[in-house]
Structure 1
């Protein structure tokens, strides 16, 4: 990186000297700016239209944030260290922005002044390689060759840096799409997927640098827009008026650049859509593959829940649970539910019963510990838990009750109305569906002995 920046500095410095020492270079450029008439306003329009083309100069900032965990921080507690790390990261990004801004503006200036316009046209010697053109034409073939080699190497390193940033950033968001954490933490498959995508993009664009640059610019701008929107919202929440206004203006500028880039080169959006679609499909496959997993490693019953279980066993030596999807959660609901279940299922006449309820949280959330709490509603006792999927949580609780008490529990359900396919899709996406068959299948996979397996009874 240091060698590459040094070579760029040499080219930019030499070009700047050439601009002011070559007869007619400076005056020719200024004459070209004013030849069309219109003064400053006449130059502003083309400059605004050309602004999105400068977006590749922002390349690298998107991975700078991923380096934040490596930035030094000071402080006696976590909050202080985090504040210190944020300040130091801001310094890092500010210095990087200043360096890149100087390089971008300076090299754009010297290449525009010193290189004939026809060489920038398609097929021209400077098309896509303006600095390399200057290096070869003004500093000799030897220097130009060294610069070409350094350019190739820095692009390799940039690709590796981007890969490292994506491997660190993307997997933490994959569970939000429903992908299992074990899949998201598998670094090697993620690297292989990115590699396949890169090779596919290269083949699709025929290794054309300009075409791929447009797609890359779309990705950078989309990331910048999302970041600027988030910062604008944050500033507005803290009632920082000037900061909100400034970030809002920046968001509009970046939105304009993104829209113009998509209009000129829509390939980036197509590639992004394909990539996102692939992630969603893989996540759905991951979720479907986990259908019959317990999804929890440990279950904790609070004091009241343990007392409910102990009292129920002391009453008749059995554990009878009625699965309930809570509605009002009042005495009338539990009374009606018990009468209904005793009428449709083989609940022993004088058996003591407990209610089992699962509150389905975000089906994309994953937790290793399932917390079961005991709730008293009038004379009715309820075991409640929150989990991403109801059938898996019910199966896990039934197995935990059997293993800790030595009593084979029985759980009573009611058939759900509706299409089995609809219930399957609801289970995959929402964590709820036709619960009894899924619970039984999970239990069957966990214990091949029917005599030890918790009993599942369905009526209605």
Structure 2
């Protein structure tokens, strides 16, 4: 049953969906700072067509999938939380940890790439006091990017309050300035159609006029070649799909209807879908229009560095290049150094805030899973240690990529696409399980087609730019190794959250047993021997008289991959014998130790009698770590000693 006070507290921190969209927008919309340039670098004069594919995939692929995710994972855990519910056991945990690795890739590269592009806008501004002759353009960008990342980490160390109002102001100003740039350029194109005609002529001529780098050679030309190349080049533009995972991750702060309940927040789900489609439509317009004006009004040599040149003046800052009036194709009010500087300040603000949003998402995501799995120390729930750790990782990634925006594009796209792919897979599994009938009737074919499309896109990005997979593999490997070590080190924690009871009768009997004296507790494995036979053997081998009452304990395992456990307890009485039947256990040793300690609270601690095991020590320890059983007597002894330091109150362990 949900806590009404908690529910009321949560509602007090919720906000109008349009304002919440701005929190997503600092990540999603900020990609306009570099996306038009990356699109041209990837697709040349065909970038408007390839961008159109991105828009179609956004509206008809990502949006339907994430709308479904929002309806099923409405507590803000996104596709990872959805898959966690669908897949249990170690397979589910391994998949979650793998996706956490890609999520870390996404959020870390969001921070480093955003800071790098912010630095590019700063040092390319005409008012920047340090010339490139002193340290060099790349060196200045690297140092400035690292400085911004350290500043970001310092802000979080002092405490970061997630104020949506700041995001709203930053996003509104940034989008208005982008609208002015794009609107002015579109009006200029209408007044001077020769620029559009020249671009169209280059498109028709094809070949070298497209300014494609590393494009596949096709045996045909014309419209068919444009369509095929746009589809093939689309994965390189996949950065334009970011923002949807963040959109469902912030569902908890979106205000719904007064009639919403914690288990059925229809209003919040509906408003989240409004957020997703509105953000998608806005971004679609800006992606298409920015790609068009960049392709028509900025010369290719300003976007793609010529042979022997280290950089092009509009690279990673195409819209800023136009805003400063640097393009020879357009000199018109309000473009110039003043307006360009205003745009740069706005761009730097939203890019830096995008890094802040990514940092907040990352330090909120990890504690949701790994500590609960026993795969991270409890200090990982604290903000400051995680901020220091991720800041160091950010600096390392920035140094590896030399703060180059384009070089990090593939890694960013890999993280984004793997999260979207996980949402697609989760949606397919969820819909399939919810339907009845034959296999073909249960398969959600539309979602399956979208899943195949994103799988192709992710595979294409990984093949062409494997650095994203390398970074993802690094994070995944680090998570798996640290998780195994943490689980090993925390194996002697009691991790007991109390019992749930089958019925009130079992609760009553348990509370009665807690106040009775049962000097002997005997774990009994159901199915091995009849209870009466087991009792006779125990009394004979352990020399227990018939007058001594024995409390039998039957423990059955549940999901052994879980760390914390709240077992289900049923108490049965046969004549003068009591049997505790405990199910839904992740570890047999921990349950036995917990029951013995509970029975020790109100009376003398019981003796726990075990039989000998023929299992080897190594096999027993591995069975304990992976399957929740093995080495039981020794583990119970260790758990009891750690949980109850007073020797007189510790249950005795007897093996015979």
Unaligned runs of 5+ in 1: none
Change (3 A) 1:275 1:177: farther
Contact persistence 1:63–1:161 (CA under 8 A): no
C-alpha separation between the residues in 2 aligned to 1:91 and 1:424?
52
Q: Which has the higher contact order (CA 8 A, sep 6+)?
A: 2
Deviations 1:265-319 (A, max 9, x none): 11111212221222233333332333222222545776458658968998xx652
Contact persistence 1:178–1:284 (CA under 8 A): no
User: Is 1:168 aligned with 2:356?
Assistant: no
* Structural mapping, 1:3-402, within 5 Å: 3-22=173-192, 24-36=194-206, 38-76=221-259, 78=261, 82-122=265-305, 123-136=311-324, 137=326, 138=330, 139-175=335-371, 177-179=373-375, 182-183=378-379, 185-237=381-433, 244-296=444-496, 298=498, 303-304=505-506, 307=509, 318-327=518-527, 332-348=529-545, 350-365=547-562, 367=564, 369-376=566-573, 381-386=578-583, 387-402=585-600
Aligned residue for 2:551, secondary structure, equals strand
Cα deviation for residue 350 of structure 1 reads: 4.9
C-alpha separation between the residues in 2 aligned to 1:20 and 1:222?
40
Cα deviation for residue 389 of structure 1 reads: 1.8
C-alpha separation between the residues in 1 aligned to 2:230 and 2:507?
70
C-alpha separation between the residues in 2 aligned to 1:171 and 1:66?
14
Aligned residue for 1:78, secondary structure, equals coil
* Structural mapping, 1:422-437, within 5 Å: 422-437=619-634
Cα deviation for residue 23 of structure 1 reads: 5.5
Contact persistence 2:374–2:483 (CA under 8 A): yes
Change (3 A) 1:341 1:3: same
Contact persistence 1:180–1:287 (CA under 8 A): yes
Change (3 A) 1:170 1:441: closer
Change (3 A) 1:185 1:360: farther
Deviations 1:153-195 (A, max 9, x none): 2111111112222333443232564336945633333333332
Contact persistence 1:228–1:250 (CA under 8 A): yes
Cα deviation for residue 93 of structure 1 reads: 0.8
C-alpha separation between the residues in 1 aligned to 2:520 and 2:377?
34
Deviations 1:205-233 (A, max 9, x none): 12121122211111111111111222233
Determine which of 606, 617, 621 is the counterpart of 1:420.
617
Change (3 A) 1:184 1:85: farther
Contact persistence 1:73–1:82 (CA under 8 A): yes
Contact persistence 2:182–2:289 (CA under 8 A): yes
Change (3 A) 1:447 1:346: farther
Change (3 A) 1:415 1:271: farther
Which range moves more in the overlay, 429-438 or 355-364?
355-364
Aligned residue for 1:433, secondary structure, equals coil
Contact persistence 2:640–2:651 (CA under 8 A): yes
C-alpha separation between the residues in 2 aligned to 1:300 and 1:239?
32
Aligned residue for 2:250, secondary structure, equals helix
Change (3 A) 1:25 1:309: closer
Cα deviation for residue 454 of structure 1 reads: 1.2
C-alpha separation between the residues in 1 aligned to 2:267 and 2:593?
46
Change (3 A) 1:312 1:402: closer
Output the aligned Cα RMSD: 3.1
Match of 2:40 in 1: none
Aligned residue for 1:133, secondary structure, equals helix
C-alpha separation between the residues in 2 aligned to 1:429 and 1:310?
35
Which range moves more in the overlay, 19-28 or 38-47?
19-28
Change (3 A) 1:27 1:77: closer
Unaligned runs of 5+ in 2: 1-170, 207-219, 306-310
C-alpha separation between the residues in 1 aligned to 2:510 and 2:304?
81
C-alpha separation between the residues in 2 aligned to 1:141 and 1:351?
93
Structure showing greater Rg: 1
Change (3 A) 1:175 1:308: closer
Aligned residue for 1:247, secondary structure, equals helix
Cα deviation for residue 64 of structure 1 reads: 1.4
